[in-house]
Amino acid sequence: MDLSRESLDREFPWRLSTIQMNHAAVSPLPARAVAALAEYAQLLSTRGPLAFPEMSARLAALREDAARLLGVTEALGGASSIAIVPNTTYGLALVAQGLDWHPGDVVVTTESEFPANLTPWLDLARYGVEVRRVPTRDGAFTAGEVFAACDARTRLVSLSLVAYHTGFVAPAAEVGAFCRESGIAFGLDAIQAAGAIPVDVAALGADFLSADGHKWMLGPEGCGLFFTTPAFRARLRPPSGWMNLKRTNPAQYDVGDRPEYVEDATKFEIGAPPMPGVYALHASIGLLLEAGSEAIGARIRAALAPLEEGLPRLGWQPVLHRQEVRSGILSARPPAGTDPRRAMKHLESSGVACSARAGFLRLSPHFGNEPEDAARVLDLLARL
C-alpha cells in the first residue's frame, strides 16, 4: 500500500477533519471498509438470497486473511481454525462454557484484565473453579509471576496480549512455552493487539485467541475473530445451534434426536453470520496486510514519540514500559489536581478523540496518524 499523505487521506477520511487518538476504543472505518459495506448492501438489495454464493466466498476470504494476520499456519489448521464471532467476549465465553470443569480447577489471569477476560472465568465459581489474579504494576507483570501463580490444579491461563489501560505487552511467548510444558491451556484476549502489533499464534503458543474487529483491525463493531488449535477445539463443547451442524447439503434441516456438530472452527458459529461486518472487516484486514506490520509499527511509534517526549514537560507522566514490542497505547498520569476526564473532554471539544481509563489519559494513534497530530494534542493540553 502507498503510505503517502494523499493515499492516507483517501483511505482515512477522518484525517481531513479530526485527530483520531482513540483506536483503542472504536476506530473509524477506512474508506475501503465503507465501500465494502455499500457493496454488501447493493448485492443484498439487487440479488437477495441469489447472492449467497458470493457472500459465502467473502466469508471464506475473511477466514483466509484473518489466518494470515494472526499467523495461523497450515499446521494449526489455517483458515479452518478461524471462527467469526460477534465480539471478543463471545469467544472467551465459548472457552469458559465449553470446557469440562471440575471443583478445584484453577484459572490464572491478571488483576488488570478488561471484564471480557475476567467475568467468563469468575462465572465458573458455580463449578468450584478458582480464579487467581496476578498482581500488576500499571498493567505490567513478568512471566515468572504467572508461573508462580500456577500449580498442579491450574487448567488454563488467559491473558490480555496488550493491557487495555496502559498498553503493556504481555510476555505471552514465555507464558505459552511454560503452559505447553505444564499441560495448561493458554489463551489470549488480543483485541488491543491484532492490527497494531505482530500477532503470531504459533510463536506465542496460544491454544485460543479472541479479538473483536472494531479497534486496531479497523473493522465495525459486532464482527470478530476466534482462533483455536485443532487439539484444543476438540476439547470444547460447541454451543447449540443449526449453522454448525454436520449436514450432507445446505438445505438439510432435519437434525434428528442427536445433533452432530462440525469439527472445524465453524462449530462455534451457531447461526447466520454477521455479513455486513464480514464484508467490512475483510476489507480492513486487507488494508492491514497491504501496509504490513513493520510499516504499521513504525508509523505508530512515530506518532507516539512526540507525546512520550512532550507530555512530561506539561506535568503529565507517561506510562512507559520500554518493551521490545511497542503497542499503540500511551497512557499518562495527570498533573496534580487535573482530572483526566476533563482533559479528555477538552481535547474532544477541539476534535481530538481520546479516552480516560483507570485514572489515565489514554492516547492511541494508528498508522493513519502523523507526528503533527501529537503536536496538536500537546498544544491543546498546554492550554488546559
Same structural domain, 173 and 40: yes
Question: What residue ranges of the chain have pLDDT lower than 50?
Answer: none
Q: Does 217 reside within a domain?
A: yes
Q: Does 26 reside within a domain?
A: no
Same structural domain, 254 and 331: no
The C-alpha atoms of residue 368 and residue 12 are separated, in whole angstroms, by 7
Per the structure, the complete domain to which residue 255 belongs is given by 35-289
Same structural domain, 129 and 193: yes
Predicted TM-score (pTM) of the model is: 0.96
- Residue 140: CB atoms within 10 A of its CB come to 18
Single out the residue in 257, 289, 321 at which a domain terminates. 289
Per-residue model confidence (pLDDT) at position 229:
98
What 3-state DSSP class applies to 132? strand
Per-residue model confidence (pLDDT) at position 361:
98
Per-residue model confidence (pLDDT) at position 257:
80
Question: Measured between alpha carbons, how far is residue 83 from residues 59, 66, 161, 212 in Å?
Answer: 10, 10, 19, 12
Q: Does 28 reside within a domain?
A: no
Q: Does 27 reside within a domain?
A: no
Same structural domain, 202 and 120: yes
Conformational region of residue 138, where left means phi above 0, alpha means psi within -120 to 50, and beta covers everything else? left
Q: Which residue has the cell 479497534?
A: 215
- Residue 196: CB atoms within 10 A of its CB come to 29
Same structural domain, 178 and 83: yes
Rg value, the chain, Cα:
21
Per-residue model confidence (pLDDT) at position 297:
98
Same structural domain, 74 and 110: yes
Single out the residue in 289, 319, 347 at which a domain terminates. 289
Q: Does 184 reside within a domain?
A: yes
The number of distinct structural domains making up the chain is 2
The C-alpha atoms of residue 367 and residue 303 are separated, in whole angstroms, by 8
Same structural domain, 185 and 223: yes
Per-residue model confidence (pLDDT) at position 4:
93
Same structural domain, 180 and 314: no
Q: Does 29 reside within a domain?
A: no
Same structural domain, 69 and 126: yes
Same structural domain, 193 and 332: no
Single out the residue in 234, 267, 289 at which a domain terminates. 289
